[in-house]
Structure 1
Amino acid sequence: MRSVDDLGSSHGRRLQRAVLDDGREVFVKTGGAPEALRSEAAGLRWLGEAITVPEVVEVADDRLVLAWVPAGQPSPAAAERFGRELARMHRAGAPGFGAPWPGFIADLPMDNTSAGDWPEFYATRRILPFLRQASLPAEDVRLIERAVERLPEAAGPLEPPARVHGDLWSGNVLWSGGTGVLIDPAAHGGHRETDLAMLALFGVPHQDRILAAYEEESPLADGWRERVPLHQLHPLLVHVVLFGGSYRDSLMRAVSRVLSSAR
């Protein structure tokens, strides 16, 4: 390598910007579980069949090397283009609910074993495993278990497996080249509303433009806005596991809305 610049760390991984001997600029991630690095690479390559992602230059047990993504601006036009591309990515589909590689979110393992339908997948592979890891009061656990029981009726119309990013908060969208470039996926076959709910959880620039363009490209099922809290249960549980009780109130508000909507 010609040069290496340190970019700090995230979830126990060291992040660097480097220039290779051939002049290419790359992003280098080292540390953490080797399985997590390989899972990220597999997800990027799969999503990259349908949307803009960084090229995977190399993946090994101790590092993941990606093509560097030059910074751009989240303009309204870029947001609209991203919304259309996101819809096309979801429409590219998946063989089933799950993925043939191990799942990770941050450095937390996720079970990507396939399931018969999305409510079953979401309950048994996403919500319940993280509920067991979260230190929540018994009454909270009971309410979340009630919400899980109501998943089949709360999930809305059945949809085929979508090709989803799986951790699509705004920090995992880099604005470059007039669109959004996806990074750090927890990619799997899932429900397309999950990605949209994650974008809404912490906000994203020009969110209304993204959604409008998405719906022009691929209309959403009736009632999707009311189902946003349902799709936010898993990421909020992940945040409780990672960061503790500061996310409990947000989680339980989402649970309350799911229970109310399923009556």
Structure 2
Amino acid sequence: MHRTLQLLATLGSAAALAPIRHRRSTVVMGGAGDVKKWFADSGRGDAKPSGGSLGGSGWAQTGKWVTNDAQYFVKQTSQSYKSMFAGEAAGLTAMRLASESGGEPALRIPEVFHAADFDDGKGSFIVMEFLTMGRGGDAETFGRAMARMHLATPDDPEAASGKFGFPVDNTIGATPQPNGWDDDWIKFWSEQRMGHQVNLAGDASIDRLWQQLKPRMHEFFDEDEDIQPCILHGDLWSGNIGTAAGAPSVFDPACYYGHHEAEWGMSWCASLGSGFWAGYRELIPEAAKFRMRRPLYEAYHQLNHYNLFGGGYRNAACGCLEQCLGSLD
């Protein structure tokens, strides 16, 4: 059994995610007894929180737990394991396997040890390797490490056969992200990415622009262009990038297997400079229509931000769609 699927079989498969706009969760820091029990039952010994909260978001809270001989990173939420942590666990595992198999330099991805619901059903938790995170690092090394992950042969058999998607649905932020397998990248992006976010938005202007763009999606790709699935972090912005023991690291993903260029849809807030691109392009040269496709891949994330936060992201999303249409005229 492939290792990503083996992890899912161990942890339990994820349920399909309902498309709920502006989905938020009340953070819970209860369930400490469940976390403590897991450490004891797994043979890791007595564990306790250390140093207080490491931060969080509107839907999760994080902290460090310690035993006599190790440190662990624990994240808790009031949502179920299936809706929040099944996808994160599988995504981290898929990225770690791809990074380890791709050669050096490699991304440092935390190992996932466990994820489960609290016994009372009022939330869930995930336990993973604790990495002491820093910022900075060598930009070219980071670029090469990302390229090596993108070039790695997928661990998942569906992706290895040329299909786009992921073994489970997951979330991007708190937005449900469907990942059903499809061997047509344009169809996958149209239906499970753009169309999904447009439907969540329920906005007449956004829908009008999308209906104009959707039938012309094929024009963003050359007929002989060979789009192969690779593992994507899926939500790569500066807050999800760091260094661990000097190596580049990425975390808090929204993974799926897709076109490698879709990784840069969040580059508007990722501060990827010339050094990064020099390293990345050593291994993956820029495609002819890369710049034409950038607003198409950015539009998904601007739409997601609008669905999560509202406000000015509506104008940004419309701007991306208009830019896409303008590039086709």
Maintained 8 Å contact 2:136/2:243: yes
Deviates more, 1:167-176 or 1:155-164: 155-164
C-alpha separation between the residues in 2 aligned to 1:250 and 1:64?
34
- 1:58 CA displacement: 1.9
C-alpha separation between the residues in 2 aligned to 1:39 and 1:26?
19
Deviates more, 1:227-236 or 1:157-166: 157-166
Which one of 138, 147, 166 corresponds to residue 234 of structure 2? 166
- 1:133 CA displacement: 1.1
Which one of 105, 117, 126 corresponds to residue 64 of structure 1? 126
- 1:71 is aligned with what amino acid? M
- 1:186 is aligned with what amino acid? A
Task: Indicate how the Cα distance of structure 1 residues 98 and 220 shifts in structure 2: closer, same or farther if over 3 A, else same.
Answer: same
- 1:97 CA displacement: 0.4
1:132-147 to structure 2, matched below 5 A, reads 132-136=199-203, 138-147=204-213
Gaps of 5+ in 2: 1-46, 100-107, 118-123
- 2:255 is aligned with what amino acid? A
2:252 matched to 1:184? Answer: yes
- 1:256 CA displacement: 1.2
Maintained 8 Å contact 1:133/1:241: yes
Name the counterpart of 1:128. Answer: 195
* DSSP-derived class of the 2:312 partner: helix
* DSSP-derived class of the 2:133 partner: coil
Name the counterpart of 1:39. Answer: 87
Q: Give the TM-score taking structure 1 as reference length.
A: 0.91
Task: Indicate how the Cα distance of structure 1 residues 171 and 155 shifts in structure 2: closer, same or farther if over 3 A, else same.
Answer: farther
Which one of 53, 65, 73 corresponds to residue 27 of structure 1? 73
* DSSP-derived class of the 2:92 partner: helix
Name the counterpart of 1:12. Answer: 59
- 1:17 CA displacement: 1.8
C-alpha separation between the residues in 2 aligned to 1:142 and 1:93?
39
Identity fraction in percent: 32
- 1:83 is aligned with what amino acid? G
- 1:84 is aligned with what amino acid? R
Gaps of 5+ in 1: none
- 1:191 CA displacement: 1.0
The alignment covers a number of residue pairs equal to 257
- 1:230 is aligned with what amino acid? L
RMSD: 1.7
Name the counterpart of 1:239. Answer: 305
C-alpha separation between the residues in 2 aligned to 1:125 and 1:242?
17
The CA deviation string for residues 165-203 of structure 1, in whole angstroms up to 9 with x for no partner, is: 1111121112223332111111111011111232x2213
Name the counterpart of 2:263. Answer: 195
* DSSP-derived class of the 2:74 partner: strand
- 2:210 is aligned with what amino acid? I
- 1:242 CA displacement: 0.3
- 1:130 CA displacement: 1.4
* DSSP-derived class of the 1:245 partner: coil
Maintained 8 Å contact 1:130/1:237: yes
C-alpha separation between the residues in 2 aligned to 1:74 and 1:2?
31
C-alpha separation between the residues in 2 aligned to 1:93 and 1:253?
35
Structure possessing the higher radius of gyration over alpha carbons: 2
Q: Give the TM-score taking structure 2 as reference length.
A: 0.74
Deviates more, 1:35-44 or 1:104-113: 104-113
* DSSP-derived class of the 2:274 partner: helix
Task: Indicate how the Cα distance of structure 1 residues 179 and 197 shifts in structure 2: closer, same or farther if over 3 A, else same.
Answer: farther
